[in-house]
Amino acid sequence: MLLRGGSRFSSLSNRKTLVFIFIVAALIGANFSVIKIALDHTTPLLLAALRTTVGGLALLAFVLSRGERIPTDRRDLANIFVVALSITSISSGLLVTGINRVPAGVGSLVASTMPLFTAFGSYLILKTRLPKLGIAGLAVGFAGALVLASPSLGGSSQAIGILALVLSAIAWAFGNIYMKWADFSRVSPLMLTTVQLFFSALTLWPLALAVEGVSETDWSLGLLAPLLYAGIPALAGTFGLLAIVVREATPTQAASTAYLIPLFGVFFSWLIRGETLGLVELGGGVLVVCGVFLVVRATTPKAMHSDVANS
């Protein structure tokens, strides 16, 4: 979806579009630390269920106010369910589970490998041509992921968290690839996301109640405040802003959110929670961000055209 932006700006200036991109990256980057705060008051799966519910209700109010209609076509609903199951059910549940076990900054860096898995999966499943620069980016990015995971390979308690975050990135990547393969032309991006979140809530609530229950949840302002942030600005709000960014920005600008998010994630983990990265985490993070940067640059239409012309 990030590759559909045009090269001209119809209603926003270049500067304003870039501001929107930074806002999206900052909102999502801060979300890793906010989720850590919420997890002091509840359990991972229940938080994922609450977050999708809050975000879904906020988006539903917005899309209905725009006069959009909830899709009823069975094919559309089936396709949205697959996306919901992979991105906002499995991936979201694993993401919160992983963040519960690792520092927020490290979590944001591991989660940022999603574009790498998307590019690799697109090559394997959709037979999408990957330029040499993209192959180099995959190698650098996955090397960085191995470096990030290395402290937990000796049996550290963070091992489950790292594994959960990697599996979360893979599940999200599969959802992205499925959206490229299936036909979603009859559903707007915002309505797709709205229905997706409700499908995920219906999946996550029974699982959370069966596995975790509510006995360990503190229904206080300590949970409500971060939950509202995680569900509305960081989920519903960012999807709304991304819809503007995708429409107004160039593909390279829109895709830049992929490597800005982990930078903001590390920054806010330091600002909000006082976390600092060790040399291993710092080195692995740099490699991951560089790898994502190379993959994004290599898979924009201009770069793909240039690579074909030079081959």
**Burial class of residue 111 (count of CB atoms within 10 Å of its CB; 0-12, 13-18, 19+):** buried
Who contacts 175 (Cβ-Cβ below 8 Å, separation ≥6)? Answer: 82, 83, 86, 87, 91
Whole-number Å distance between alpha carbons of 249 and 107:
28
Whole-number Å distance between alpha carbons of 255 and 18:
11
**Burial class of residue 281 (count of CB atoms within 10 Å of its CB; 0-12, 13-18, 19+):** buried
**Could you tell me the residue ranges of all domains in the chain?**
2-310
User: Looking at residue 8, what is its pLDDT?
Assistant: 40
Place of tokens 């960085």: 144
Q: Read off φ and ψ for residue 258, nearest 5 degrees.
A: -60, -35
Distance of CA 109 to the CA centre of its chain: 12
Who contacts 37 (Cβ-Cβ below 8 Å, separation ≥6)? Answer: 222, 226, 272, 273
Residue 258, both tokens: 């992929």
Place of tokens 């000796």: 154
* Nearest C-alpha neighbor of 71 from the set 178, 190, 174, 204: 190
Whole-number Å distance between alpha carbons of 216 and 88:
23
Q: Tens digit of pLDDT per residue, the chain (311 long)?
A: 333 333 343 445 567 777 888 898 999 999 999 999 999 999 999 999 999 999 999 999 999 999 999 999 999 999 999 999 999 999 999 999 999 999 999 999 999 999 899 889 888 888 888 888 889 989 999 999 989 888 766 556 688 899 999 999 999 999 989 988 888 889 888 899 899 999 999 999 999 999 999 999 999 999 999 999 999 999 888 877 776 666 566 655 666 777 788 999 999 999 999 998 888 889 999 999 999 888 888 876 554 444 433 33
User: Looking at residue 99, what is its pLDDT?
Assistant: 95
Contact 171, 94 (CB under 8 A): yes
Contact 238, 74 (CB under 8 A): no
Residue 58, both tokens: 């906020």
Which sign, positive or negative, has the C-alpha torsion 230, 88, 123, 3? negative
User: Looking at residue 1, what is its pLDDT?
Assistant: 37
User: Looking at residue 297, what is its pLDDT?
Assistant: 80
User: Looking at residue 304, what is its pLDDT?
Assistant: 42
User: Looking at residue 126, what is its pLDDT?
Assistant: 85
